[in-house]
Structure formats: structure tokens, C-alpha cells
Chains A and B, each alone.
Chain A
């Protein structure tokens, strides 16, 4: 079960959000993902089962092999990446900007960013944590 909910200033409830279990570039959203999210939230707040859904939105998330971002150098000289934030971005992306700037300025990974390098998929030192999303991936 997985869902989040917040109320906008207009009073509408903004809810979300899951990812499809398969590749999807349509950006149309999908019924099983909506049903999964709504099921979780109705279980938590039964009263919202009476609400009508006004609109839905679907986009593309960049997921990595271990669900953690990739921050650091690449095999191409002068090319740096800060990507793969997938479902876990909102809270830690601003912080990652500081270590990424330091990484670019010094052409080496910032100590905090070091474990998030692209080479972790070769060494096997993958990061089994959910970054800031507080979601057990």
C-alpha cells in the first residue's frame, strides 16, 4: 500500500502516486496505478471514498537499478550527472545541488556524493535505501 495526500489552498485533495511495473512512455497515467493509490488512501481516510476524481496526471520518472540517484563523474571527461531521482526527489534534490556543484568545481566526487557514483553498479556497492522518500522500495 502506497499513497500520499495533501490539500491545496482551493480545497482540492492532491493525491499520488505510484509507478507502473513496466516501461511506459505514454505519459497518460494508468488505471491500475490510480486504483492502487486510491485504495491505499480510502483505507486510511474512508470519508474520501465519496469524492469524485477531477483529473489525473502521469509522467515519466527516471528510476535506477537500486532506486537511489546517480551523482558524480562519468566515463566522459567533463560530463557530470545528477539524475535517477525517480520517486525520491523533492526533499534531497536541493541538497544534492550543493554537493554536485562541489563535485563539478573540483572534478572529483564530493565525499557525501561519493557512494552515489555510477561505478557502484560495477563494484556491487549499491545503495539499498529510499533517499528521502520514506518509502520502502
Chain B
């Protein structure tokens, strides 16, 4: 059971109070010139995801709280949330030098 804290309203609750929104910071192809957006660009926007085993930027919805979307950085192997931040906050850089399993071992020892 994931424990999540909404950075907008402060609700701290189980994952069942929230809705997962998948990978964050995916930018829609610019629509000022829609006829010249390639099919490949829309494929990347709609379907291509990193699916990292380790740290991931994610979207979550505070479904049973304030109803706002927000961001989180979560380890997809250990489930540890590193941080929660608002949609308007800049994308934090992740320290990816250690692999998740190495981190799990380091945490145990």
C-alpha cells in the first residue's frame, strides 16, 4: 500500500484515495502548426514511455481530496516516494547513479 501526500491540500492517505496518472512531464507536440506535426511525434506523445525500474516522475490525482493533479518522484522498485511537488513546480533532476537493487542493498546494510 502506497502512502501518498498531496502537495496541494496536504492530504496524507493510502493510494486508494488517489488515482495514478502515469509518466509526468510529457509535452504535447506544439499545435501552432498542426498539419506539420509528424505521426511519429504524436506516437511519442501518446504511447512512448520510459517505464524506468527505479526513479520515475509521475502524475497523481488527489481523487478523494482536493481533486487536483500533482507530481511525484517514486522508486518503481522499492515504492519509496522521494518527493511530491505541484504541477507548476519545475521538473526536479534525479540522481540516477545507483541502480535500484544497489540502493536497496545499501539501505539494508
Contacts and interface: CB of A to CB of B under 8 A. Distances in A.
B46 A31 contact: no
Contacts of A24: 76, 79
Interface stretch (A50-58, A92-100, A121-129): A121-129
A126 B98 CA distance: 37
A25 interface: yes
Interface residues of A, number: 15
Interface of B: 1-2, 14-16, 19-20, 22, 39-40, 42-43, 46-47, 51-53, 56, 58, 74, 76-79, 100
Contacts, number: 42
B76 A25 contact: yes
Contacts of A32: 1, 14-16
Interface of A: 20-26, 30-32, 65, 121-124
Given A25-B53, A26-B78, 6 more contacts: A20-B20, A21-B20, A22-B2, A30-B1, A32-B15, A122-B43
Nearest to A64: B47
A65 B79 CA distance: 23
A65 B45 CA distance: 11
A54 B56 CA distance: 33
Contact of B40 (A25, A26, A122): A122
